[in-house]
Amino acid sequence: MAAPKLVLATHNQGKLRELRELLRGQVPGLDVDTDVVDAGAIQAPDVAETGVTFAENARLKAHAVAQFSGALAIADDSGLAVDVLGGAPGIFSARWAGKHGDDAANLNLLLAQLGDIGEEHRGAQFVCAAVLASPDGSIDALEEGALRGTLLREPRGEGGFGYDPILQPLGLEKSCAELTSAEKNAISHRGQAFRALLPHIIKALS
C-alpha cells in the first residue's frame, strides 16, 4: 500500500466515511479513497485520551498519529453536551456507560437518566474539536463546531452512529440518524470543524 497523505486518527469507520466525503473533490491531486486512511490501516496504537477538553484530546491524538505515520494527521474529539447535565457526557460520551464505544449502552443509559426531564429542558448539542498536525509539529491547526438540538425520548433512524438517533437538530423534524449522509455532513459539528480545517489541509498538501 502506498504511503497515505492524510491519516484520520480513529478506528471509527463512520468518521472516516464522513471525512472522505467532506474532502472529495476539495483538494487537488488527493484521491480520498486511497490517500486518506484511518489509524487502523497503518496499525497506529491507540492514544490515551488524557485531556480534559475536546481540544486537548484532539491534539494528543493528531500529533501522536502524525509522528507515528510520518504523514499529516487529523484527529477529532467530539461528544454530546447535555444542558441539564452541565455539559455531560462531554469528553466521556464514548464511554458514558463504562465501556468505550458501546453506542447502544451509552444511549440507553442517557435516555434513562433523562426519563423524567420535561421537553423544555432537553436541550443539548454535539460538539467537535478537530486538529490537523504534521509529523514535525510545525502544523497545529484547531477548529471547532457545534450542532444544537433537543433530545428525543427514544431512538429514531438507522443512520449515523453514537447519539445520532436521539438528537433532533433545531429546526428539523428528523433525528441525526434519519438524515442522509449529505444532509448530516452539511450541518454536523464534525462537518463544521472539518470544513474549517480545509484551508489548512489544502495548504499543507500543496
Q: Among residues 98, 4, 92, which one has the least CA distance to residue 49?
A: 92
Three cell numbers written together for 41: 490501516
Return the active site residues. 77
What does DSSP say about strands 167-169 and 140-151: parallel, antiparallel, or unpaired? antiparallel
Cα 79–chain centre separation: 7
Nearest to 22 by CA among 142, 198, 146: 198
Angle at the Cα of 171 (from 170 to 176), degrees rounded to 5?
60
Q: How far apart (Å, rounded) are the C-alpha atoms in residues 43 and 21?
A: 23
Residue 102, CA distances (Å) to 50, 108, 155 in order = 20, 10, 15
Q: Can you read off the three cell numbers belonging to residue 130?
A: 478537530
Listed in sequence order, the residues at least 6 apart from 203 whose beta carbon sits closer than 8 Å to its beta carbon are none
